[in-house]
Amino acid sequence: MKTVMITGATSGFGEACARLFSSSGWKVIITGRRQARLDLLQKELGGADKAYSCCFDITNRDAVANAFDNMPEKFSEIDVLVNNAGLALGLEPAYETDLDDWEKMVDTNIKGLMYCTRTVLPMMKQRGQGYIINIGSIAGNWPYPGGNVYCATKAFVRQFSLALRADLLGTGIRITNIEPGNAETEFSMVRFKEDELRADNVYHNTKALTAEDIADTVLWLANTPEHVNVTTMEIMPTEQATGPLATYRRDK
């Protein structure tokens, strides 16, 4: 039975991935900052035998190291790491943004992903196999007004993933960067700091991706043969296009 570790598993893509991998027979390590949500999800997934709950903040380098060092033996051989934890904050132009928001996006989307990746890589290299799936964004390819630092952090995820592919040739370790477009999760509620009206307007009269759509993709990737590496995968809803990230909206 293989083991997957999913960061940011308390909502959105991460939570959907945890449910899908668990129902497909995987052992699951779920991480996040909200212990109560982790507890509920662990119970839903079948308890401690099937899911290991690990509450820590990926922006804390020592906390990341401690989490990996204290992993139960049953879950210690991680076959797949899904670097899902991330966030966007605000949609103001660069001259009006909150520097604290910028720093939090850098700390989470870049540093947290780096810490988890660097910690798991030696374990995977020693075993001669492993898979790291990073959740990037089309924002790393297609900038938009107000995206500023969020777009920059996701461009980092893309380039870091490509650079890892170059570093890891011959190790048996695979790397994929998934780049979702509009997806209706808690993402916009976090971005707009619980402003439900602004968050709902993002998806008004359009059909966005769901968390389950991305989870299906992650599981498919994890089940591809070991000689196959999908380097990047851009996924948009049918009603969204590239360039200015135009979104089709129905009249009703």
**Cα radius of gyration rounded to whole Å, the chain:** 18
Q: What was the pLDDT predicted at 62? A: 97
pLDDT at 243 over 70: no
Residue of higher predicted confidence among 251 and 207:
207
Q: What was the pLDDT predicted at 185? A: 81
Residue 7: helix, strand or coil by DSSP? Answer: coil
Tell me the CB-side half-sphere exposure of residue 220, using CA atoms within 13 A. Answer: 9
Structure tokens at 184: 């209706």
The β-bridge partners of 51 are 28
Residue of higher predicted confidence among 175 and 200:
175
Tell me the CB-side half-sphere exposure of residue 81, using CA atoms within 13 A. Answer: 27
144 is catalytic: no
Domains and CATH numbers, the chain: 3-235 (3.40.50.720)
Least confident window among 68-77, 177-186, 220-229: 177-186
Q: Whole-prediction pTM value?
A: 0.93
Contact present, 69 and 54 (Cβ < 8 Å): no
Structure tokens at 248: 């089709």
Contact present, 12 and 187 (Cβ < 8 Å): yes
Find the mean pLDDT for residues 191-195.
73
Q: Place 201 in a pLDDT band, splitting at 50, 70 and 90.
A: confident
Give me the percent of the chain exceeding a pLDDT of 70.
96
For residue 240, what is the DSSP state? B
Q: What was the pLDDT predicted at 193? A: 76
Neighbour order of strands in the sheet with 130-135? 51-55, 27-32, 3-6, 80-83, 130-135, 173-180, 232-235
CA distance 217 to 221: 6
Structure tokens at 65: 């190291």
Q: Which of 115, 144, 150, 203 is catalytic?
A: 150
Find the mean pLDDT for residues 27-35.
96
pLDDT at 244 over 60: no
